[in-house]
Amino acid sequence: MHWLSVLVQTPAHSAVAGPLTYQSELPLAAGSLVRVPFGTREVLGVVWDALDAASLDRPESEIRAISAVLEGVAPLTVAWRQLVHFAASYYQRSLGEVALAALPPQLRDLSAAQLARRLKRPAGGAVDSTLTTPDLIALSEEQVRAIARFDAEAGPFLLFGATGSGKTEVYLRCVQALLERDATAQALVMVPEINLTPQLEARFRARFAGRYGEAAVVSLHSGMTNPQRLKSWLAAHSGVARIVLGTRMAVLASLPRLRLIVVDEEHDPSYKQQEGARYSARDLAVYRGRLEGAKVLLGSATPSLESWHHSRPAAEGGRYQRLEMPSRIGLGSVLPKVRLVDMSLQPKKTVFSPQLLQAITERVARGEQAMVFLNRRGYAPVLACSSCDWKSECPHCSAYRVFHKIDRTLRCHHCGFTERVPRACPSCGNVDIAPLGRGTERLEEHLAEMLAGVRRPNSVSVQWPEGAPLRIARIDADTTRLKGALESQLAQVHAGEVDVLVGTQMIAKGHDFRAITLVAAVNPDGALFSADFRAPERLFSLLMQAAGRAGRDAAQSAASEMWIQTLHPQHPMFAALRRHDYPAFAAGQLREREQAGLPPFSYAALVRAEARTQAVAQGFLNAASAAAAAMEPALAGYAQVTLFPAVPMTIQRIANVERAQMLIESPSRAALQRFLSAWHAVLQATRQQPEGRGLIRWAVDVDPLAI
């Protein structure tokens, strides 16, 4: 009989958080996938290690046997298991939770017999001779230099390239060189959002499917069906897939011959998981590259301040190599001119300044396209009564329900609670209830009213009657709910069937709109004075990315513009934005953070607690902090960390659950990690005390993005 240490999926706060012991008649290699009994269920497990009889923690007669081995799936590699172990340890989660969450959901549900039948299906790896490899475009001098340095140096690399500078072509060339050099090598290319995956996948398929086969390029993201995810995962795990394109979940995919990792738009907050194991896919990509000897290429026009800081000269302590491509592709291509409109000089309640409306009208008259950006969906963020203090508050959350005019509903964007718009004020009966503020739905309606008299010119490429009204389209989470809706709407924009595009950040990054020459940000001031120290960084990045959608066609780039309507045109951030000077903006932000002792000059973690009352949530956190102070000499790392008092979260109640948080800071990453590891047992014990009664859950968020 053989004794095995097996991981199953258990949450970090569970009493059963480590590997479990099972017996097997046959020896199994570490990394093998098995089905094991767990309570009254049978679940998927990963063999983590072999045990000897002397190390068993209970009598042999009490140890259950594994139910089946998943034949036909090679054991997960040592490097993959090391990656999972690091992620679980660093982000303070259980090994089983991280390991099993990294596997496709359908694999967790299939029995051994069902998986055997699934593996008999053809993989489709044959090369299609009808597919052709497109001719390669000529590279710019900056692209050539970046690729040469990438080939010659070890990395990791930060590719700092302006929007439209050809970063995607650099990714393609680096992947192509790898596949030509190594017949078995695999590459992982990550993007921040699902809606960016199809267009990137199309470019990679066009470049590589003709030479390596359709199955050589696969996608991995949560928008796929479970069978699709299983098929892609098996192709990557077996080595059939040479290129894997995916979102943050793909960083934990099994790629046994991984030699290159590309993280596009590495600054994007979407790379940070916000549920379960709160890992940063960007940071794990860098660690995985070092672990597996794979080169790592991070790319962005507005890098995160952490990556920018790490890419400073090696003499100053930098760990990344910075590759720069400041120019746009194409003869005469320039970045759009940034124009600021001082809204304090406009009449009150002005939404679109006359100057901006005139600029949009001129673009449409020339057959060009414009884009209007507002990062708030819905018709209005709140519905209010003019006679009393009633507002459309959510009864289950400490937030307002958003008014959606298209279906006459009030919808909470946090818990999903939806009701029809009342005919009169529920508090006083007044029928005069009106929307306050604007979302993209209201912005689209208002823009249509303001431009009602504008007519579109005749077009050769798109058939419409000359003098027809211009067409305004809106792209946000509400208009793209149905499968295929986003692709259809983007195709209309690319085909020239849309004159003015209105949307949220979904349209502000990653898309290659060739006819858009004007981008307008209507109300970006909210983040300028936010309590979150990362808000200016996120706003600058979003506005730079939005500006990058304009003038991507070299013939029109000289006339492209980015309009920003603001009440604070003298703000230093806008001065850097007008010059497209990210280095100056980053230098200023880093100086402020160093003076304040904020990341990347310190390290932080948040402990979040959820309960039915705020008193219980905060009481649990404060009790755990007091317990740590009481045992200070024995608690590793305590002397080098600062624990702040528990406070409610910004939105303190969601779905009738109260939420509180406690911030922990340290100048030493190692000390913070030592403390969190030692404090875990204290948190577990505190939950069993009176202070922990009524607690629903707690979780640790290491390197949080929002504080």
CA angle, 344 then 345 then 351, to 5°: 70
The confidence score (pLDDT) of residue 60 equals 79
The predicted-structure confidence for 314-343, as pLDDT tens digits, reads as follows 999 999 999 999 988 875 667 889 999 999
397 assigned binding-site residue = yes
- With 60 as the cut, is the pLDDT of residue 127 above it? no
Average pLDDT over residues 382-404: 92
- With 90 as the cut, is the pLDDT of residue 171 above it? yes
Kindly report which listed range (187-191, 491-495, 671-675) carries the lowest average pLDDT score: 491-495
- Comparing 467 with 135, the larger pLDDT belongs to 135
The confidence score (pLDDT) of residue 677 equals 92
415 assigned binding-site residue = yes
The predicted-structure confidence for 522-540, as pLDDT tens digits, reads as follows 888 877 888 888 989 999 9
Residue 11: pLDDT band with limits 50, 70, 90: low
- The domain covering 603-702 belongs, at the CATH homologous superfamily level, to ACT domain (3.30.70.260)
- CATH number belonging to the domain at 141-325, selected among 3.40.50.2300, 3.30.420.10, 3.40.109.10, 3.40.50.300: 3.40.50.300
Percent of the chain with pLDDT over 90: 55
174 assigned binding-site residue = no
Average pLDDT over residues 460-487: 75
428 assigned binding-site residue = yes
- Comparing 18 with 22, the larger pLDDT belongs to 22
The confidence score (pLDDT) of residue 54 equals 74
Residue 460: pLDDT band with limits 50, 70, 90: very low
Residue 454: pLDDT band with limits 50, 70, 90: confident
What secondary structure, in 3-state letters, does 444-482 show? HHHHHHHCCCCECCCCCCCCCCCCCECCEEEECCCCCCC
Torsion of CA 691, 693, 696, 700, to 10 degrees: 30
User: Comparing 337-377+439-595 with 603-702, is the CATH topology the same?
Assistant: no
The confidence score (pLDDT) of residue 463 equals 52
Average pLDDT over residues 42-70: 85
- With 60 as the cut, is the pLDDT of residue 699 above it? yes
Domain locations in the chain?
2-119, 141-325, 337-377+439-595, 382-436, 603-702
The confidence score (pLDDT) of residue 112 equals 84
Residue among 15, 88, 14 nearest 48 (CA) = 88
User: What value does the mean pLDDT of the chain take?
Assistant: 88
Average pLDDT over residues 65-81: 92
385 assigned binding-site residue = yes
The predicted-structure confidence for 352-384, as pLDDT tens digits, reads as follows 999 999 999 988 888 888 999 888 888 889 999
- With 90 as the cut, is the pLDDT of residue 18 above it? no
2-119 folds as GIY-YIG endonuclease (3.40.1440)
Torsion of CA 233, 235, 239, 243, to 10 degrees: -80
The predicted-structure confidence for 203-226, as pLDDT tens digits, reads as follows 899 999 888 888 899 999 988 899
Cα separation values, 73 from 77, 105, 233, Å? 12, 15, 11
What CATH class is the domain 337-377+439-595? alpha beta
Residue among 73, 74, 77 nearest 119 (CA) = 73
The confidence score (pLDDT) of residue 652 equals 93
- With 90 as the cut, is the pLDDT of residue 706 above it? no
Ramachandran region of residue 103, left (φ > 0), alpha (ψ -120 to 50) or beta?
Answer: beta
- With 50 as the cut, is the pLDDT of residue 57 above it? yes
Residue 458: pLDDT band with limits 50, 70, 90: low
Q: What DSSP letter does each residue of 142-179 carry, written as one string?
A: HHHHHHHHHHHS---EEEEE-TTS-HHHHHHHHHHHHH
Q: What DSSP letter does each residue of 209-259 carry, written as one string?
A: HHHH-GGGEEEE-TTS-HHHHHHHHHHHHHT--SEEEESGGGGGS--TTEE
